[in-house]
Structure 1
Amino acid sequence: MSKRCVYFIILHTAFVSAYNWDQLNLPPSHLPFYFKNHPDVDKMCREDVECPFQEMTGQDKCWGYEPDCDKSQHYTNPNCSGDKRGWYVGKKEQEHKFWSTADFGMLLERKNELTMYCKPHSKEDSSLQCAKYLRYCKATNIYLDFSSKPITKGNERDRYREDILGPGLVGGHCELDKAGLRAQGEHKSPLQSWFAEMQHFSSLPFYPSKEENCDIVFNKPTYLMKLDAGVNMYHHFCDFVNLYASQHLNNSFTTDVNIIIWDTTSLPYGDFFSVTWKAFTDHRIIPLSDLDGKRVCIKDAVFPLLARMRYGLYYNMPLMPGCFGSGLVKAFSEHILHRLNVRQTGPSKEKIRVTLLSRNTQYRNILNQEELLKAMKSDEELEVSVAEYNRLMPFEEQLKHSHNSDIFIGIHGAGLTHLLFQPDWAVVIELYNCEDPGCYSDLARLRGLKYITWEKKDKLKQEDEGHHPTLGAHAKFTNYAFDISEFMRLVYKAADHVRNHPEFIQARKRKSEFKHENIVKQEL
């Protein structure tokens, strides 16, 4: 008996040291869902005395795309208390439409669409599995031959050329459903599908897994991405939110992955938000041009959801009226903040934190900004700051400021995308939407935040008619002044919402109790 006990202890000790629990690096509220989708890791944690997450294991939680996932177990469910504007007859239909197009239900639909186009018959074989229209694909032992045609052509400005992978230059060793694959071209477009890159996928006479025909082999899981504009936060974060959604489809959140940027031009890609890649990979971002002239084999490849898909998240999304609060977008926000180590320091005991976003651009400036600031600062409850988000302010610092803003105010512009990272109780005020009413109001609804915009146009002064370079008069190409009394009415409306929000009240209470406990400990 004694020998058996000793033998067990040795085995157990070896098991404990085998898993690095720090590598999970997920928000605590996400861990029960991770363990549910990784039963082997769940079991290891429950049996490992050194696992710090044992309380998170064995819970009946699900994101919403898993088999037999009941609504009561979902991460969150949307609030559809608003007017559906005749889109659907009943509340259930309204809720389902929002959930299936703007929440984890969208991923359930993509998972249900997955079709095997390159079928393996052995471990050495390749595979290619894609959602409808090739909006998302996952491949194993895939071969990409960039030795026949140059990836970049001089000063060619097309970032998504379609002529670099012809027949025989992309494929795998497998049973190929060529007709089925070729039928998926309806959404062919650079940022809507991967059809252009996969349309010539071929069944090859050799095994990419055996590496004889490969100049470069990627053994780590590898994401290949086509990106939207990196200088615009609204557009670039369509890339990031879809990469996060694709991690869910791939059921993996490890940062030990390669990311290859599919860009067929030699022109630089301006990325003002490059620090965000730290949330997804520990390694250098690889430009496609690094592979020029090479035959490339990838053991495990993911072609993620794209930024401008039809009915995608969130650029081309006709959002269901009357609903707000996408669990997918909330989870994305929490994931980014956690991995970039952005922490909530509030709420303040007696103040409501207000940030006014200042633009130092040619158009959409607030002409009477100083007067508006003076009016807000005259109220002692408001803790007012001005932020100018530009390249001189590191993006992590921008996120810290936005995440600690109870009220975030700005005129129409990509900087308002920071609303994604405000706390759950927050309000975003789009001072004037410049005749583009859906853009940031929809984004706020996705994030689940209160959205306010200018209501009385007669209390708004436009500098001139606006001067678009080609379209003539345009509301986005001029500057504005705002009536101070009306402005303060909207600010107080926002402050009332924050002050009475249940999560704000609870957060204040928790912070007060924490401070009290620390004072007691110091006295002892």
Structure 2
Amino acid sequence: MKRYIRFSVLLYCTLLLNTVLWWFRTQEENTSQTLTLDINKLKNPASTLRVTVANSRTDTKSLGHKPFRGIQWHWKNSLKDTYMLKLNNSEEICGKTFIGYNKDFAKLENVVIDPSKGKGRRGGENISEVLNQKERDEYFVLEPGYFQVVQCKKHVNFNFTSRSHLNSWHDAVGTGAMPRYGEVIPGWTIAVMRYEYVNLYHTMTDFYNTFLVAKVFNITQGHMTILWIDGHPWGGLDTTWETLFGKVLRVGDIKKPCLFEHMIWGIMGYHSPLTRHAAYSAPYLEEFRKYFLISHGITKTRSLNCRRLKITVIWRRDYLAHPRKPSGLVTRKIKNEDEFLEKIKSTFVGHDVRGVQIDLYNMTEQLEMIVDTDILVGMHGAGLTHVLFLPKHAGVVELCPSYWSSANKHFVTFARWRKIPHLLWNNKDRKREIMRHSTIVDVDAVTNLIVKMNATICSESLKQTHKRHNIA
């Protein structure tokens, strides 16, 4: 009997020991995950790569992701477009693991970001917390191995456009041994480094670039992650990224190595097609306009009523936008706002005339005002970026102070691309300039330009009406 009891105790202890050893082995496997790749699918960049991770978590909530609630977008067929044809100028490295396109952007398959090899601020702070912060503190310094391309064993060698930050990203690519990682970001990720992140014009180039690369790879809204590789504090345009594309992740939130299934290095903002003012056109500009408006729930189209025009004047006023200008002081303001607005109203009796500081409104409210505008008036500045969203029948009157060169073609180019009439008033009287901050506008001269614009858009509308009747 005693021998039987001793045997039973020994058997129990053996089973208990095996259970403990099995538990420790399981935990070790959880921290050193294994990656299984279907190599055949690597040969087809359009296919979805199946990634099997043993005991890994693919839940991205811990990285700040939010569910996308926007309107699903369906891309138009664009196979014959010249912009898409330019993408044939690509270079494949490591069996399409790294593909560089036209020196402007790149696609990487199964890349691990190792945060220990990058230094920078998380970002997202309130501006008041980082006043006078140096701009260089808002950008990450990346060391080799920050981007680890899992399936590539040789050196990645590709040259991007001169002065693009993508060259420094390229220098931070590591190959060879696969690092351990925790989180997995499935699907598509578009990596962006923002520069003038609170300026509507410059941020619009980032929006547009992201739209372009999403279109290139046929990525629909809600099926991509935007990765900000910068450490900027919070800005008023941050939420627009989520509205347009879906999930947004700050690279500063990545605390442990993280694997991204399909990563795109987006086009640098300063190298956007929107900045090529000499170009005949910008690809898919009207589709981008529609995409932008629909993403904000705006689908109505205003019809021109020349008996009751809607004239919107944009005011430039001081406001705190980023840490390096704590005074909030802006230039190119209109000194005699009240006089100017009253002159327009007295000239256009019975019409709707309004003056707005448009940056005080959220993006949806801004767009609602713009799509309901027939003539847009304003000093040269980021607010005139809204020329992109005006109705097709609309016109724009742009004002420039004497110290600002009319050679800045940002908004006259947007108008030309959209076939919207544009008129310019350039102050020639330096006595009208107040300490280079405000301009006393010649209300008679500018109002005459608005009257001329009225005649232009209404006569064009009349021509189009007659043309339709003749065709009918």
Give the TM-score, by structure 1 length. Answer: 0.64
Long gaps (5+) in structure 2: 1-68, 124-132, 319-328
Alignment of structure 1 residues 383-398 onto 2, 5 Å: 383-391=352-360, 393-398=361-366
Partner of 1:15: none
C-alpha displacement at 1:261, in angstroms? 0.6
Long gaps (5+) in structure 1: 1-21, 37-62, 70-103, 121-126, 467-476, 510-524
Partner of 1:201: 173
- Amino acid of the structure 2 residue aligned with 1:291: I
C-alpha displacement at 1:143, in angstroms? 1.9
Contact 1:170 / 1:198 at 8 angstroms: preserved in 2? no
Partner of 1:518: none
C-alpha displacement at 1:407, in angstroms? 0.5
Out of 157, 176, 188, the residue aligned to residue 182 of structure 1 is: 157
Partner of 2:314: 357
Say if 2:245 is the partner of 1:288. no
Q: Secondary structure at the match of 1:119?
A: coil
Between the aligned residues of both structures, percent identity stands at 20
Say if 2:92 is the partner of 1:113. no
Q: Could you tell which deviates more after superposition, 371-380 or 135-144?
A: 371-380
Greater Cα radius of gyration, structure 1 or 2:
2
Partner of 2:459: 500
C-alpha displacement at 1:504, in angstroms? 9.9
Partner of 1:170: 148
Alpha-carbon distance change, 481 to 341 in structure 1, aligned in 2, over 3 angstroms: same
C-alpha displacement at 1:200, in angstroms? 4.2
Contact 2:105 / 2:267 at 8 angstroms: preserved in 1? yes
C-alpha displacement at 1:377, in angstroms? 1.5
Partner of 1:480: 439
Say if 2:410 is the partner of 1:439. yes
Question: RMSD value over aligned CA atoms?
Answer: 3.1
C-alpha displacement at 1:353, in angstroms? 0.8
- Amino acid of the structure 2 residue aligned with 1:128: F
Say if 2:419 is the partner of 1:448. yes
C-alpha displacement at 1:168, in angstroms? 7.7
Q: Secondary structure at the match of 2:99?
A: strand
Give the TM-score, by structure 2 length. Answer: 0.71
Partner of 1:160: 139
C-alpha displacement at 1:318, in angstroms? 4.4
Contact 1:376 / 1:382 at 8 angstroms: preserved in 2? no
C-alpha displacement at 1:174, in angstroms? 3.1
- Amino acid of the structure 2 residue aligned with 1:187: S
Q: Secondary structure at the match of 2:216?
A: helix
C-alpha displacement at 1:253, in angstroms? 2.2
C-alpha displacement at 1:346, in angstroms? 2.7
C-alpha displacement at 1:227, in angstroms? 0.9
Partner of 1:471: none
Alpha-carbon distance change, 503 to 308 in structure 1, aligned in 2, over 3 angstroms: farther
> How many Å separate the matches in 2 of 1:384 and 1:413?
20
Alignment of structure 1 residues 393-432 onto 2, 5 Å: 393-432=361-400
C-alpha displacement at 1:440, in angstroms? 2.1
> How many Å separate the matches in 2 of 1:352 and 1:277?
32
Q: Secondary structure at the match of 2:334?
A: coil
Alignment of structure 1 residues 299-310 onto 2, 5 Å: 299-309=261-271
Partner of 1:25: 72
> How many Å separate the matches in 1 of 2:184 and 2:200?
33
> How many Å separate the matches in 1 of 2:150 and 2:163?
22
Listed one character per residue, the Cα deviations across residues 381-434 of structure 1 (whole Å, up to 9, x for unaligned) are 53211111234x222111110121110000121111111111111111112262
Listed one character per residue, the Cα deviations across residues 104-151 of structure 1 (whole Å, up to 9, x for unaligned) are 634432x1222111216xxxxxx1111143x21112211222235544
> How many Å separate the matches in 1 of 2:221 and 2:462?
31
C-alpha displacement at 1:380, in angstroms? 2.9
Listed one character per residue, the Cα deviations across residues 22-57 of structure 1 (whole Å, up to 9, x for unaligned) are 98733xxxx5x63x4xxxxxxxxxxxxxxxxxxxxx
In terms of fraction of residues, the more strand-rich structure is 2
Contact 1:243 / 1:304 at 8 angstroms: preserved in 2? yes
Alpha-carbon distance change, 431 to 318 in structure 1, aligned in 2, over 3 angstroms: closer
Q: Secondary structure at the match of 2:144?
A: coil
The number of aligned residues is 374
> How many Å separate the matches in 2 of 1:329 and 1:451?
18
